[in-house]
Amino acid sequence: MTDIAQLLGKDADNLLQHRCMTIPSDQLYLPGHDYVDRVMIDNNRPPAVLRNMQTLYNTGRLAGTGYLSILPVDQGVEHSAGASFAANPLYFDPKNIVELAIEAGCNCVASTYGVLASVSRRYAHRIPFLVKLNHNETLSYPNTYDQTLYASVEQAFNMGAVAVGATIYFGSEESTSPD
């Protein structure tokens, strides 16, 4: 077993014994088996969203703990598939990405529309899908931060996804774009 204190060195006591006094813990929404009922129930989210959130929290090895373990594999579009998967070419195949998430006991697998759509009929009922709706590309120079939509919420819903994700580079010129 690794000795954490030894790895942290002279800062070990400060780091391991720290107690935040700025915000009392009773003012925080802490994880727990009842997170959706306790924190999200009294807001304006539709019942279908609450059901999907509960599905995320009740799937995988962390089910019922209030914690999430999401396998994110959406880098192929932004960084090229070769840069992302050359070391493990097995994961060029979307089936293997989803099977890895299932075997690892993840609450969810997050990836591009194309990756998840290609295996949705086989796996959407076995593990929750989170569809990344937009992507940047970092193949050109200089880098830009213009996220392009590759999918819609409706497309994600139709494939059985329980969640969607998007990246916004706050502060970039494109961050205020309505697209």
Rounded to whole angstroms, the Cα distance separating 47 from 54 reads: 10
CB-hemisphere CA count at 13 Å for 10?
0
In a domain? residue 4: no
Q: What pLDDT does residue 76 have?
A: 61
Q: Which residues pair with 132 in a beta bridge?
A: 112, 165
Q: What pLDDT does residue 142 have?
A: 76
Query: pLDDT tens across 14-69, in order?
Result: 999 988 889 988 899 999 999 999 999 999 999 999 999 999 999 999 999 999 99
In a domain? residue 6: no
In a domain? residue 2: no
Q: Choose the most confident range, by mean pLDDT, from 98-102, 146-150, 165-169.
A: 98-102
Q: Is the pTM of this model over 0.85?
A: no
Average pLDDT score over residue span 77-81: 61
Rounded to whole angstroms, the Cα distance separating 33 from 37 reads: 9
In a domain? residue 5: no
The boundaries of the domain holding residue 80 are 11-176
Number of domains in the chain: 1
State the pLDDT confidence band at 83, using cuts at 50, 70 and 90. low
Contact call for residues 131 and 111 (beta carbons, < 8 A): yes
